[in-house]
């Protein structure tokens, strides 16, 4: 079994600099490929460095997450543009819109999101979209970008409604499910995970956040725990774990690695 964790933050301080051991534990658990995702200039630089140090198992995404947009300078954005051309970088993001927190004014988020979308299209890279409490605005900006030219990517840690899922699929996006799908109260989310077409389904940890059941609340999340999310999604889809692992791994390879 080989799983691909399509969204993790290996540079996060909760790992305490123990990145090598985190990657080794992931491999031992069958998580053989990881995409480590930047949220700021510094974390994007770290993501590229980690991917460079682990070329057989780790790739990078670079971007400025919407909640960090207010603190980002024009020089920070210039660095993201430069980093995006590194061979280790296989996606742009984490980007998008977030109306739940008020760390960054929405108009600033929109400008940054538009810039990320343009960069992804210019470099023919997929985009990783964060969307919270601003679904239709996010989808509207994605539709505008898609009208300009080819656009592909993933709705990260999807937790919306069935209708929202269908709108994302209609845009050609993949949907990625994280540890929330394993929570006891997440019956509705599990039903959505059951219905996603095989070729649009991805898995992620969002580590060190969203630790899946049965480890929720006990420890920071890490890529090795992706197997619990995979087991849950395989169960609700009525397929063997190995089949679900192959499907989601192949989808991730095609989207991010062109394989």
> What are the extents of the domains in the chain?
3-257
Distances (CA, A) of 25 to 21, 160, 163, 165: 6, 31, 37, 32
Residue 35 structure tokens: 């995409």
pLDDT recorded at residue 17: 76
pLDDT at 70: 95
How confident is the model at residue 219, as a pLDDT? 77
pLDDT of residue 217: 84
pLDDT score recorded for residue 10? 97
Q: How many residues does the chain have?
A: 259
**pLDDT at site 193:** 98
Closest CA to 89 of 49, 31, 130: 49
Q: What angle do CA 198, 187, 164 make, to 5 degrees?
A: 60
Residue numbers in the chain where pLDDT is lower than 50: none
pTM, rounded to two decimals: 0.97
Q: What is the dihedral angle through the alpha carbons of 192, 239, 30, 22, rounded to the nearest 10 degrees? A: 20
The tokens describing 187, both together, are: 């019956």
Please give the pLDDT value at position 184: 96
Q: What are 141-197's pLDDT values in tens digits?
A: 999 999 999 999 999 999 999 999 999 999 999 999 999 999 999 999 999 999 999
For the domain covering 3-257, report its CATH number: 3.20.20.140
Alpha-carbon gap, residue 23 to 26, rounded angstroms? 5
Residue 194 in contact with residue 239, Cβ under 8 Å? Answer: no
Alpha-carbon separation of residue 33 from 64, 110, 125 (angstroms): 23, 31, 18
What pLDDT, on the 0 to 100 scale, is given for residue 133?
95
Q: How far is CA 166 from the centre of its chain?
A: 19
């Amino acid at each position: 079994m080989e799983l691909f964790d399509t969204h993790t933050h290996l540079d996060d301080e909760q790992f305490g600099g123990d990145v090598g051991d985190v990657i080794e534990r992931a491999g031992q658990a069958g998580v053989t490929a990881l995409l480590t995702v930047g949220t700021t200039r510094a974390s994007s630089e770290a993501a590229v460095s980690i991917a460079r140090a682990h070329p057989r198992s780790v790739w990078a995404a670079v971007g400025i997450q919407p909640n960090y947009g207010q603190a980002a300078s024009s020089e920070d954005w210039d660095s993201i543009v430069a980093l995006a051309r590194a061979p280790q970088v296989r996606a742009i993001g984490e980007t998008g819109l977030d109306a739940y927190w008020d760390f960054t004014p929405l108009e600033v988020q929109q400008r940054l999101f538009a810039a990320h979308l343009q960069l992804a299209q210019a470099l023919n890279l997929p985009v990783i979209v964060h969307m919270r409490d601003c679904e239709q605005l996010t989808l509207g900006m994605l539709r505008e970008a898609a009208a300009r030219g080819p656009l592909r990517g993933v709705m990260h840690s999807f937790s919306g409604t069935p209708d929202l899922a269908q709108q994302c699929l209609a845009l050609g996006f993949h949907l990625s499910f994280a540890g929330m799908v394993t929570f006891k109260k997440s019956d509705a989310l599990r039903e959505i995970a059951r219905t996603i077409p095989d070729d649009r389904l991805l898995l992620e940890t969002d580590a060190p956040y969203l630790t899946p059941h049965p480890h929720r609340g006990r420890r920071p999340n890490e890529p090795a725990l992706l197997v619990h999310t995979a087991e849950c999604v395989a169960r609700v889809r009525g397929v063997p774990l190995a089949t679900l692992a192959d499907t989601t791994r192949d989808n991730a390879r095609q989207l991010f690695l062109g394989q």
